[in-house]
Amino acid sequence: MIDVEDLIALVRNYNPKTNADLIRDAYAYGREMHEGQFRRSGEPYFTHPVAVAAILTEQALDDATIITALLHDTIEDTRASYSEVSRRFGEEVAELVDGVTKLTNLQLSSTETKQAENFRKLFMAMSRDLRVILVKLADRLHNMRTIKSMRPEKQLQKARETMDIFAPLAGRMGMQWMREELEDLSFRVINPEARNSIIRRFILLQRETGDVIHKITNDIRAELDKEGIDADVFGRAKKPYSIWRKMEEKQQSFSRLSDIYGFRVITRSEMDCYRVLGVIHQRWRAVPTRFKDYISQPKSNGYRSIHTTVSGRDGKRVEVQIRTRQMHEVAESGVAAHWSYRDGVRAQNPFAVDPAKWLAQLSERFETAEDHSEFLEHVKLEMYSDKVFTFTPKGEVVSLPKGATPLDYAYAIHTRIGDSCVGAKVDGIRVPLWTRLKNGQAVEILTAEGQRPQATWLDIVVTGRAKAAIRKSLREEDRERFVKLGRELARVAFEHVGKKASEKALATAAKQLSLAGTEELLARLGSAELTASDVVRTVYPELVRESDTIDANRAVLGLSEGESYNRAQCCQPVPGERIVGITYRGKGVVIHAIDCPALEEVEGESNRWVDLQWHAGPHAADHTVSLDITISNDTGVLGRICTLIGEQKANIADLNFIDRTPDFYRLIVDVDLRDVEHLHAVMLALEAESEVARVRRYRNLDMRP
């Protein structure tokens, strides 16, 4: 455990004017309060708050934050009280400790409704003082560093919570180093075999190529010295999880993944950043589409840097980040840089973002959410997405999440523009509305009076703002029609279990589902935001049995009388997914998932499109879906995978190996399923298996109708 004088020395390194006596008092008080308490590892519990405080000194944070770290568990776990902490250490510290205590009690990985409400509370706590979440992140980082002492099931729960919530939050706050470490520590628990495999391959690569990082670093320094540019150059291998994520995104093996090394050049001035960029591009060939200038277009959390990828020594791709020292401080600390100290005064870094403004930006779009699920969707979209920068016809910049479409752009400009959108031009060329925008593209939206949002747009847009606006418009425009359809769906579903869809039954269901009333329930039922089986199950859970399956002949609503359908084998839609029917000569109606790439071929043939939806209620397990699974090449693994699928009451219809390596097998498994929830249950069970490196849905465009 770090001694109090050593902790004070860490603070004095950046804040010579620190109140050492107050830190000593907090250290002694915290140790006294936690006396007799021990961690699962057997260490005295107080080692944890001290370690959290030490982590925060790396961010050069103020005395109040350091003292809060020392006391952050006292109000919750000891006899200490808010009033006593306030009396001894001040109201500011007491409020921070109380805020951390409330965050600790939030179950962020609980059910979706409760999780959404707890996210609201998390953002409320953050809005009062962002230092609360800084302490909580440091607390989670130390817990993840010492997670081995926990029970295996607890380790997995904490690791998933960290990967899903705390790591993205750290990244959103600009604390990239913390995000990377939290991700890698979680990866070590969630998929240790994959992580160890990457590390083994790294070691093998180093044996074959030598110290590539040292060589490339020297190459860059030599080029900068020729031009007389004074700068520091650092190189590193990327974290195992970062490499694993790139392998997943690019569908490449480790041997084919080239940009696994990253380099930073820290300059003395902004002008030198662009001089360094010129030197690097003159010496090495730049990789097209891999250049981002976050100096001229900073991220919302204050991040500034130039990113470029070049073909370096021996043709290896390397990513180079170029920034000034002040930019680097913000890149390391993010929003936390606002509280950092240097020489006894708060550092006036010109690039540090005002936390109040940052939180206002982050929270702005959450206010439009009408229910828990929408709020949670907004939060995750904001936290998890990187940015792309697009331009209006007048040259103004519009920042959007990675993967955004022209529809997202339209709604970012104004809801009215989004609602009336009929088309888009990107760099002067007409493109489909589902086109994914890229950095630097100029976007022009085409509008028409009388145009209204389509239900299919919900599957095209990715921003919370666009989704909320589309849903609101659809509910207002089609509310009467949805209520009428919802009432009919409810009548059929209730009669199926021998009950009537009375006003009282519907009102009870609405109350249980936290909806405003019966009309809201019926509107959501008619718009397919709720299923009739969910409504019936809410009121009469004992009457909804697995055996009460819907006949295949009436599984799809919207077909003409006597008209049959076939499921498209390219996308294999299942009940619960949004679908559309396409008429094919000689084949009748073929149903596709709304996001099926094959629909691009018939985009302009609206006369062939048929508005369809799955019948509400339980379906038979006869909808075959192909799963692309990568498993460890070990004895008995395939048998365990088959057993897992069987335990989920799913039948394996076919199985084909498509790739074999010394480490892994890749196979396509055809599984017969009931609906999308059944699919998710099977995939979740497989993902939780340590021997499964990856599982995803397999879609084959060669099977287009």
Cα 431 to Cα 136, 417, 444, 446: the distances in Å are 45, 17, 10, 11
**In Å, how far from its chain's centre is CA 303?**
19
Beta bridge partners of 431: 424
Residue type, 439: N
Neighbours of 635 (CB within 10 A): 7
Helix, strand, coil percentages in the chain from 3-state DSSP, rounded to 5: 50, 20, 30
Q: Mark out the alpha helices in 497-575 (DSSP H runs).
A: 503-512, 518-526, 532-539
**In Å, how far from its chain's centre is CA 602?**
32
Beta strand 261-267 pairing with 317-324: parallel
Query: Can you tell me the distance from the alpha carbon of 169 to that of 384, in angstroms, rounded to the nearest whole number?
Result: 8
- Residue labelled with tokens 């480490």: 663
Helix 112-128 vs helix 91-104: crossing angle, to nearest 10 = 170
Question: Is residue 592 within 8 Å of 570, Cβ to Cβ?
Answer: yes
Query: Can you tell me the distance from the alpha carbon of 419 to that of 452, in angstroms, rounded to the nearest whole number?
Result: 5
Query: Can you tell me the distance from the alpha carbon of 534 to that of 575, in angstroms, rounded to the nearest whole number?
Result: 13
Question: Is residue 49 within 8 Å of 73, Cβ to Cβ?
Answer: yes
Question: Is residue 663 within 8 Å of 632, Cβ to Cβ?
Answer: yes
The three-state secondary structure class of 425 is: strand
Gap between the terminal Cα atoms of the chain: 67
**Catalytic center residues:** 76-77
Length of the chain: 705
Q: Please, what is the Cα angle at 398 between 394 and 400, to 5 degrees?
A: 155
Going 643 to 647 to 653 to 657, the CA torsion angle's sign is negative
Strand order, beta sheet including 429-431: 429-431, 421-426, 443-447
Query: Can you tell me the distance from the alpha carbon of 523 to that of 485, in angstroms, rounded to the nearest whole number?
Result: 8
Query: Can you tell me the distance from the alpha carbon of 424 to that of 417, in angstroms, rounded to the nearest whole number?
Result: 11
Residue type, 434: W
Going 626 to 632 to 635 to 636, the CA torsion angle's sign is negative
Query: Can you tell me the distance from the alpha carbon of 68 to that of 26, in angstroms, rounded to the nearest whole number?
Result: 9
Question: Is residue 624 within 8 Å of 656, Cβ to Cβ?
Answer: no
Query: Can you tell me the distance from the alpha carbon of 299 to that of 304, in angstroms, rounded to the nearest whole number?
Result: 7
Question: Is residue 55 within 8 Å of 138, Cβ to Cβ?
Answer: yes
Query: Can you tell me the distance from the alpha carbon of 287 to that of 316, in angstroms, rounded to the nearest whole number?
Result: 11
Beta bridge partners of 39: none
User: Using the 8-state DSSP alphabet, how is residue 337 labeled?
Assistant: G
Neighbours of 518 (CB within 10 A): 22
Question: Is residue 676 within 8 Å of 576, Cβ to Cβ?
Answer: yes
